[in-house]
Amino acid sequence: MMNFDTPTATLLPQALAGALRRLAQLAHTSSWDQWAVQRLTPTQRKILELLVRRGESLSLSAVARELGVTAATACDSVSALESKGLVRKQRSTTDGRALALVLTDEGQHSATQLAALPDPLWGAFDVLADTEQETLYRLSIKMIRGLQENGALPTSRMCLRCKFFDPFRYAGSATPHHCHQAQAPFAERQLRIDCSVFEAGDSSAQAELWERFVAQSSDEGEALETVRVHETARSIEPMAAVESVDDDESADVPAAHAAEPADSTVAVAGAVGQPELLNT
């Protein structure tokens, strides 16, 4: 018999990890199927996508660091992309002694085709409302940032590390954050995990950004939960009122029977289906 209170019951972090692995399995399996059409491995595709996002040449070491792979793995993938005519090496614009990778025209075309392929994970979000998707995205960013701090993921060019990011400057609005580089407010769904205009803040500034974001996110989450509780309560109140009326009316029937003489019981019972008789 199922017992949810046993010491061996699934812990919440364990359950979350299991759920995320299910999603990751879908992404991994379907992505291999899609990438096989282009005859590219996942790492090769990620290199093309990275070069597109950056819009500039990158060194081999930068590619390895960004993707969180070894230099040897990056080198093998780059060599394969070169043989397919999708990337080429040239002298770095910042260091004439070093080589950097750039997309060829064919590589740009291939990357455009890859971007047009449907992402199977999008179907997972169809059951979520827009607000739920925004909440999930914000929580995902928090998890990614935490894993980066622990060294489990490579550091990315995300808003939460950028010196231009001003979190919750307009708290309570539809566009609570501000980007000082763009000089514009933006919404939760517009938070970046990999931004082309990113500039890292110093370690103390990044720590301060993180603390502000986490604290305000918690406040926003509590406020949303309060709203949801109130809305649920408002939706339940009319139902409770109807049930209360029904209970009162059902309680009055035995009282009426008790108050009536024995010979009028049939008359009262017959009048229940005819309200106009009770008022005469």
Distance in angstroms (rounded) separating the CA atoms of residues 125 and 137: 11
Cβ atoms of 167 and 177 within 8 Å: the answer is yes
Strands annotated E in the chain: 87-91, 99-103, 165-166, 177-179, 184-186
* Average pLDDT for 189-200: 92
Under 8 Å CB-to-CB from 180, ≥6 apart: which residues? 163, 164, 165, 166
pLDDT at 235 over 70: no
Task: Note the pLDDT tens digit of each residue in 155-192.
Answer: 889 999 999 999 999 999 999 999 999 999 999 999 99
- pTM as predicted: 0.66
* Assigned domain for 64 exists: yes
Q: Provide the number of structural domains found in the chain.
A: 2
Please check whether residues 184 and 220 belong to one and the same domain. Answer: yes
* Assigned domain for 200 exists: yes
What φ, ψ does residue 183 adopt, rounded to 5°?
55, 50
Please check whether residues 142 and 222 belong to one and the same domain. Answer: yes
Cβ atoms of 38 and 179 within 8 Å: the answer is no
Please check whether residues 149 and 220 belong to one and the same domain. Answer: yes
Please check whether residues 136 and 221 belong to one and the same domain. Answer: yes
Structure tokens at 216: 């305000």
Please check whether residues 35 and 54 belong to one and the same domain. Answer: yes
Give the end of a domain, one of 119, 144, 176.
119
36 or 116: whose pLDDT is higher? Answer: 116
Please check whether residues 221 and 162 belong to one and the same domain. Answer: yes
Please check whether residues 106 and 159 belong to one and the same domain. Answer: no
Cβ atoms of 33 and 67 within 8 Å: the answer is no
* Assigned domain for 98 exists: yes
* Assigned domain for 46 exists: yes
Please check whether residues 155 and 216 belong to one and the same domain. Answer: yes
> How high is the pLDDT of residue 200?
92
Task: Note the pLDDT tens digit of each residue in 65-75.
Answer: 989 899 999 99
Range of the domain at 134: 130-227
Task: Read off the CATH number of the domain in which 36 is found.
Answer: 1.10.10.10
Please check whether residues 64 and 137 belong to one and the same domain. Answer: no
Give the end of a domain, one of 207, 227, 247.
227
What φ, ψ does residue 146 adopt, rounded to 5°?
-65, -40
